[in-house]
């Protein structure tokens, strides 16, 4: 069985390292693409160890190649032939995705606000249902605006942004940004600036990551 | 299954973020579902399940087979 770590371009450099189950990471050429794979005897469990091993292999690939599409930790392919059959019809989409992420890393940003929503409603005493809804709507609008205030300057430094749907409560913003590697310092400066400007928030920036969130391609060939 | 010994919030959050990306992000290719799986597939790839213990996973699998 074949476990897929990542998809890269034709000129990919694959490091001579071991991956899951201590099996070496190999390069499989599929036309204008390279699949970074490892042979496994049975489907790898998504254990901490295997997941971190997969991440380490992707990291190593990202260290050596400007464009990497990290693969999701999924069930393995039956044979190398099945890998080729899966990649070949998606060559154009995968090349487009590689071009999009080339030279970029992913940075995750979460903004927390300790004061829970609904406080305004509670402070109002016992509002009527209508009043409560109006307070909640105003609260939602305010949250949205504040989230945008944090995200907008960061989006200015990014090639692409994915806003995750954040829950209510303390998570104000949960987003991930595709940023050119040499723009990362400016992005981090912006984070610090935003944190100083919003002491009521806790802003956490994680990464840089290989571009897991920007690697998806449409399942069906166009 | 997340290491409870991780010293601080940032490290735990970073680990969760990484696992989330590896299991829920990344490119998915259709070839991986052509693998014929004769046995019950106990591997449910998802962050929330990863956080459960292995014992819970086995219990869930037993319930699924029984239902």
Task: Report pLDDT digits (tens) over A91-134.
Answer: 999 999 999 999 999 999 999 888 655 555 556 678 888 888 88
With contacts defined as CB-CB under 8 Å, which chain A residues touch B50? 46, 48, 51
For chain A, list residues with pLDDT below 70: 115-124, 165-168, 219-222
State the pTM of this model.
0.79
Residue B42 CB-density burial (10 A; 0-12 exposed, 13-18 middle, 19+ buried)? middle
More confident residue, B50 or B24: B24
**Closest Cα to residue A96, out of A191, A181, A220, A218?**
A218
Q: Looking at residue B5, what is its pLDDT?
A: 45
Q: What is the pLDDT of residue A167?
A: 54
pLDDT value of residue B13: 78
Q: Compute the distance between CA of residue A209 and CA of residue A205 in angstroms, rounded to an integer.
A: 11
What pLDDT, on the 0 to 100 scale, is given for residue B15? 87
C-beta of residue A217 within 8 angstroms of C-beta of residue A95: no
Chain B residue nearest residue A57, CA to CA? B22
3-state secondary structure of A207: strand
State the complex-level ipTM: 0.87
pLDDT at residue number A221: 43
Q: What mean pLDDT comes out for the span B37-65? A: 49
Phi, psi of A121 (to 5 degrees): -65, -40
Using an 8 Å CB-CB cutoff, list chain A residues near B21. 55, 70, 106, 209, 212-213
Interface test with A, best of B3, B12, B16, B29 (most A CBs within 10 A): B29
Query: If DSSP codes are grouped into helix, strand and coil, which group holds residue A124?
Result: coil
CA A186 to chain centre: 19
Residue A71: HSE in the Cβ half-sphere, 13 Å Cα cutoff: 29
B51 touches chain A (CB under 8 A): no
Bridge-partner residues for A36, per DSSP? A6, A27
Give the mean model confidence (pLDDT) for residues B8-25.
86
Instruction: Indicate the DSSP class of residue A77.
Output: B
- Res B60 pLDDT > 90: no
Return the H-helix or E-strand segment holding A147: helix A129-155
User: Percentage of chain B surpassing pLDDT 90?
Assistant: 16
Report pLDDT for B33.
Answer: 44
Q: Using a CB–CB cutoff of 8 Å, tell me whether B35 touches chain A.
A: yes
| CA nearest to A177, candidates A152, A141, A143 | A152
Give first-to-last CA distance, chain A, whole Å: 28
Q: What is the DSSP string of chain B?
A: ---TT--SHHHHHHHHHHHHHHHHSSB--GGGG-S---S-------HHHHTS-HHHHHHHHHHHHH-
* Chain B residues within 8 A of A218 when measuring between CB atoms: none
Give the whole-angstrom CA distance, residue A118 versus residue A152: 26
B27 CB neighbours in chain A (<8 A) are 7, 69-72, 94, 97, 215-217
- Structural element, H or E, at residue A28: strand A26-30
Distance CA A58, CA A35 (A): 12
């Amino acid at each position: 069985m074949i476990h897929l770590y990542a998809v890269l371009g034709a000129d990919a450099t694959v490091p001579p390292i071991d991956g899951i189950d201590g099996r070496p990471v190999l390069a499989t050429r599929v036309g204008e693409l390279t699949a970074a794979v490892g042979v496994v005897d049975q489907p790898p469990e998504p254990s901490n160890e295997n997941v971190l091993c997969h991440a380490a292999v992707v990291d190593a690939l990202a260290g050596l190649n400007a464009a990497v599409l990290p693969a999701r930790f999924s069930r393995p392919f039956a044979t190398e032939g099945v890998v080729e059959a899966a990649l070949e019809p998606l060559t154009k989409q995968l090349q487009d995705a590689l071009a999009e992420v080339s030279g970029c890393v992913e940075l995750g940003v979460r903004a927390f606000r300790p004061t829970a929503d609904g406080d305004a409603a509670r402070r109002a005493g016992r509002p009527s249902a209508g009043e409560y809804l109006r307070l909640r709507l105003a609260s939602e609008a305010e949250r949205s605006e504040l989230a945008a205030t944090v995200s907008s300057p960061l989006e200015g430094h990014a090639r692409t942004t994915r806003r995750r749907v954040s829950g209510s409560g303390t998570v104000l913003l949960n987003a991930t940004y595709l940023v050119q590697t040499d723009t990362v310092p400016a992005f981090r400066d912006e984070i610090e600036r935003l944190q100083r400007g919003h002491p009521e928030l806790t802003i956490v920036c994680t990464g840089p990551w290989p571009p897991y969130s920007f690697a998806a391609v449409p399942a069906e060939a166009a | 299954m997340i290491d409870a010994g991780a010293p601080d919030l940032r490290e735990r959050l970073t680990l969760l973020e990484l696992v989330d990306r590896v299991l829920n992000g990344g490119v998915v290719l259709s070839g991986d579902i052509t693998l014929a799986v004769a046995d019950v597939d106990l591997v449910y790839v998802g962050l929330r399940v990863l956080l459960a213990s292995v014992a819970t996973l086995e219990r869930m699998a037993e319930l699924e087979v029984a239902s």
